[in-house]
Chains A and B, each alone.
Chain A
Amino acid sequence: MIACERVTEVLVAFDDDQLDAARTAAVEQHLTGCEACRRELQELRDAMSAVSDYLDSPAETAGAPGVTGHRGRAWGRLLAAAAVLFLVAGMGALHFFGTGHADAREITRQALERFEGCDNVRYDLSFVLPDGKAVRRGELVMGSGGRSLLRYSYAGIEYFFGNDGRNRWMGIRSYPGAPGTFAVGADVAADAGADGGMVESRIPDLHAWMKRFKEDQKAELKILLREKVGERDCTAIRASMLEEMGMKMVTTFWIDDEDRWVRRIEIDFLGMARVRLELAETDAEVDGKTYGHLHYATRGSRVIPRDQFLGTFGAHKQGTELKGKMPREEF
């Protein structure tokens, strides 16, 4: 029989099935008759079980563990990455942050039904990065009178937007891990000279989740947009996509002095409408409760002939414009 010292030398390899048949048999035979070595093997296995238990155990999260938990944060990062891809794909103009309309699902369901049976033009959409990777897919349905639908999914997020023909986009998107569905409502005024106005959302039960999500998104955007992807690359990719689609859009991000994540979107959408949006998130107290608010404003949105919409957009002053209240100046 081999000595205990020899067994200790190969005990780990034995437990990991790394020994050949002869040595395995020799160790097994030794273990049968040696309690000390059996104990050593058991202690080794117990230690590995403890390691496994640690790796699988939940860790407290800094934000809202009851809402998001371990996986939620991971999803947040993935979603943030997806959001960046979304922006690169250049469809940000349809990506309105939302309100708390309780009936959004019903509205969108009805909108969907209205499209059934109509003589629509239906497109499949794939947003493809220059290296050939499809990053998202869905469908665009254009009906009569300006009614249209955009529906797609990516990384488990379902997006749905409908235009009711009066240039109001409504829709929902749902996130895995979120305790509900985000309702989206955007009233993009199509009348010449009219403003779309400001919409304010009150989403108490989503506040903690959203806050955490936005924190992740901020961090991810800071890294990806500023360091990895690079503004120049983003702009170039977006420009080529939009050109093909007949769109012209400029999206600008910044983190303002109050650490709010802000973006401005300026777009000529399919040659039909000119839209300008600014979005910002804030917290606010209403009746003693803190709510997460997502503000968006459309200003100077109007239908103009496409050939008149080729001018450049003015530069904005980063980090100062959205302090206090939404700016009201014309572009």
Chain B
Amino acid sequence: MSLAVLRWVPRGLGLGLLAFAVFGPIGNLLLWAFAERWYWPHALPSQYGLSFWSRVFAPRADAWGSLGLSLLIAVLAVIVSLLLAVPAGYALARRSVPARGVLMLLFLLPQAFPSLPIYMNIARLFYSVGLNGTVPGVVLVHCLHGLVLAVWISAAAFAAVDGAQEEAARNLGAGPLMTFATVTLPAALPGLMASAIFLFLDSLDEFTGTYFVGVPEIVTMPLLLFNAAMGGNYQIASITALVLLVPSIVFMLVIERFLKADVLAKIGG
């Protein structure tokens, strides 16, 4: 055996172990999602099937309501966050703003603080104004969670826009709003798209804030998963987890196409 082949022994072992560590938990989840019967000490389920899937996705089951609610909240959170973050990102990147560095850091603060104590106090404040257990309340909390990245990515996307094109548009007689709508915004769009996808996923997956603010009316998919898991129903919890897993994996596989290197290089700049 040549040395080159022998070298694949440690490599293969390391990669194999890592593959088991990464995919093992996902595989175990898949087994649970399709297991009809699984008793100790059997290593594998004794019967596979889809009966739990039909229970989860029965026409009147909770899952459809939760899925719909999760999607509604995620779409609203994306819209509200972008409405806040796009002007803010544009101002930070293209306008002179006093104390710009301090402001950029200010948006980072929620990320540098443990969020759970913040959420429980938001819940207390929301309770007094009637926002607890409502869709707008949960949307606002999700916006706070995603705001940092939305603002930073927007700022980076606008910073990467070529100023010469804007100048050309202005020289040809376009007004500032026309220039923004026809030149600046389209050029920044890939970065803003990445930010929107990120916000959508972030909202879809958010658990802790919804747990405190949405309770008890707002049962999003993560809350449904949590309730099923705490109720001891492995199959239903696993199926819900699997449904949540799909967008995350897809996002992981496509993110590089949306986040261009020139935008990435400007993040935080």
| Bound together | no
Listed in ascending order, the chain B residues whose CB lies under 8 Å from chain A are none
